[in-house]
Amino acid sequence: MPPPAIPAPTPAPTRTPGTWDVIVVGAGPAGATAARVAAANGCETLLLERAVIPRYKTCGGGLVGASLAALPPGLPLNVLDTARLFTFTLNGRKECTRTSASPTCAMVHRSELDAALTEAACAAGATVRDGTALTRLEQQGGTVTVRTNRGDTFRARAVVGADGSAGRVARYVGVQCAQVDLALEVEAPVDARTAERWRGRLLMEWGPLPGSFGWVFPKGDVCTAGVVAARGNPAALRAYKEDFLRRQGLLGPPPLHDTGHLTRCRRPDSPLARGRVLVAGDAAALLDHWSREGISYALRSGNLAGHAAARIVAAAEEQEANAAADHYGRQVDDALGAEMRASGSLMNVFAHNPGLVHTALTHLPPVWRRLDAYIAGRTGVAEIMTTPLARAAAALGPRLPRPARHSPTVAPAVTPSPRR
């Protein structure tokens, strides 16, 4: 008897060169996550990154519980330290240190975290092209065309813009911001004695400019330290940074990195998509107004964007693709909108009266316990802002006079946003 015929292999689906199901722009937490999820949903996915991976990113690299919970299971994570003690000061005065009931906040180097997330996207089947920047974007008849600085022309059925706070895709989609801040940060190498002084301890200082603060995050032989305030008075912010670093004893050897970066918080009615192009993470201006925590927002919106892109790819008609993009907007609002609105309200209180926030945190143990629970991922800002004390402070905040020491040339940290 002749041997059974070996069935011919199923031909791999042919793809026109340069044509993809999904193109994701930017390999930060939002983009790497969107690419991983789209690829895992069966989409031929291309992840474009302007920089060469691993790349440095201006960021504290502090992962709160919500960020840790949103990481893909089993992701190799190099945690350099975990904050057990939190020191708060009001412009260098009234120092108070609190102990976390369940130390959670993990300190990482963003270069390592983002490279690991990109590796996870590759493992799920995404193709990564680093050193390649999107330069132009247009869409017509169910196809999005992406051009790059290397002369490529790629086509896709869906694009996720995760190219950060100064990205091109946000401009294309028309993202609108309620709050734009400038952050200045250094990676300061520290000697063994200084490293020991900071080990397991994170510092937050409520600063002299409206809505500003300074931070020191310990990472073994390096401390990440910086300041943030409303964009508009860079000279005052630079002066604050110098003063802050000097007071923390971090003006010694030249920093490994000394950079600045914008942080942006969206208006509640800002678009999250235009046709088949979605935005996620910083590109969508999804960020906590007060703490400027953005990694959890990037991971969560990246996950939703990856699923939405796969639905757009599967859509038989343009109407169905539009419905998938609309659905993405609603999902982001459901998952993150309440947190952003609550953090905007907290920011209003803080920008008008940092002393009130400091006193509540350092004198009222339940207030610290709630912040500690938020850091651990057991509660959200929206829940915190429903407590009677927070509601009373929020009602009072905007009416409080600005403290005289605030520079009048600095724009308000939070501009009123239109109602939805």
Query: Which lies closer to ligand FAD via its Cβ, residue 167 or residue 344?
Result: 167
* Binder among 44, 81, 185, 339 for ligand FAD (CB under 6 A): 185
- Tokens 């400038």 map to which residue? 182
Closest CA to 216 of 57, 111, 61, 371: 61
Q: Decide if residue 241 touches ligand FAD (CB under 6 A).
A: no
Q: Decide if residue 162 touches ligand FAD (CB under 6 A).
A: yes
Query: Which lies closer to ligand FAD via its Cβ, residue 128 or residue 360?
Result: 128
* Binder among 23, 47, 126, 295 for ligand FAD (CB under 6 A): 295
Closest CA to 352 of 212, 243, 237, 183: 212
What is the pairing mode between strands 222-230 and 213-219? antiparallel
Candidates 36-44, 191-199, 286-294, 355-363: pick the segment binding ligand FAD (CB under 6 A). 286-294
Total residue length of the chain: 420
β-bridge partners, 161? 25, 279
CB of 96 to ligand FAD, least distance (A): 21
Query: Which lies closer to ligand FAD via its Cβ, residue 23 or residue 321?
Result: 23
* Binder among 124, 133, 236, 314 for ligand FAD (CB under 6 A): 133
Q: Decide if residue 354 touches ligand FAD (CB under 6 A).
A: no
Compute the distance between CA of residue 141 and CA of residue 143 in angstroms, rounded to an integer.
Answer: 6
3-state secondary structure (DSSP) of residue 101:
coil
Q: Decide if residue 158 touches ligand FAD (CB under 6 A).
A: no
Q: Decide if residue 219 touches ligand FAD (CB under 6 A).
A: no
CB of 44 to ligand FAD, least distance (A): 18
Query: Which lies closer to ligand FAD via its Cβ, residue 148 or residue 353?
Result: 148
CA angle 250, 253, 256 (to 5 degrees): 90
* Binder among 22, 128, 156, 167 for ligand FAD (CB under 6 A): 167
* Binder among 23, 35, 43, 49 for ligand FAD (CB under 6 A): 49
Q: Decide if residue 339 touches ligand FAD (CB under 6 A).
A: no
Q: Decide if residue 50 touches ligand FAD (CB under 6 A).
A: yes
CB atoms within 10 A of CB 370: 22
Query: Which lies closer to ligand FAD via its Cβ, residue 200 or residue 398?
Result: 200
Which ranges in 218-336 belong to alpha helices (H)?
Answer: 234-247, 295-314, 318-332
* Binder among 51, 115, 180, 389 for ligand FAD (CB under 6 A): 51
The long-range contacts involving 251-258, CB below 8 angstroms and separated by at least 24 positions, are 252/188, 252/189, 252/190, 252/191, 253/188, 253/189, 255/186, 255/187, 255/188, 255/189, 256/186, 256/187, 256/188, 256/189, 256/222, 257/56, 257/58, 257/185, 257/186, 257/187, 258/185, 258/186
Q: Decide if residue 177 touches ligand FAD (CB under 6 A).
A: no
Amino acid at 258: D
* Binder among 38, 90, 126, 134 for ligand FAD (CB under 6 A): 134
Closest CA to 38 of 124, 143, 130, 134: 124
Candidates 196-204, 249-257, 280-288, 338-346: pick the segment binding ligand FAD (CB under 6 A). 280-288
Closest CA to 143 of 157, 132, 122, 131: 157
CB atoms within 10 A of CB 334: 10
Query: Which lies closer to ligand FAD via its Cβ, residue 263 or residue 417?
Result: 263
**Which stretch of DSSP H or E encloses residue 143?**
strand 143-148
3-state secondary structure (DSSP) of residue 206:
strand
Distant-in-sequence, close-in-space partners of 364: CB < 8 Å, separation ≥ 6: 389
Q: Decide if residue 180 touches ligand FAD (CB under 6 A).
A: no
Query: Which lies closer to ligand FAD via its Cβ, residue 52 or residue 192?
Result: 52
Compute the distance between CA of residue 310 and CA of residue 82 in angstroms, rounded to an integer.
Answer: 36
CB of 141 to ligand FAD, least distance (A): 24
Binding marks (x or -) toward ligand FAD, 16..45, rule CB under 6 A? Answer: ---------xxxxxxx--------------
Query: Which lies closer to ligand FAD via its Cβ, residue 81 or residue 282?
Result: 282
Q: Decide if residue 208 touches ligand FAD (CB under 6 A).
A: no
By beta carbon distance, the residue nearest ligand FAD is: 294
Q: Decide if residue 261 touches ligand FAD (CB under 6 A).
A: yes
For the four alpha carbons of 113, 368, 350 and 385, in that order, the dihedral sign comes to: positive
- Tokens 């920011």 map to which residue? 347
Number of residues that bind ligand FAD (CB under 6 A): 40
Which residues contact ligand FAD (rule: CB under 6 A)?
Answer: 25-31, 48-51, 55, 57-62, 67, 133-134, 162-164, 167-168, 183, 185, 226, 261, 263, 281-283, 287, 292-295, 298
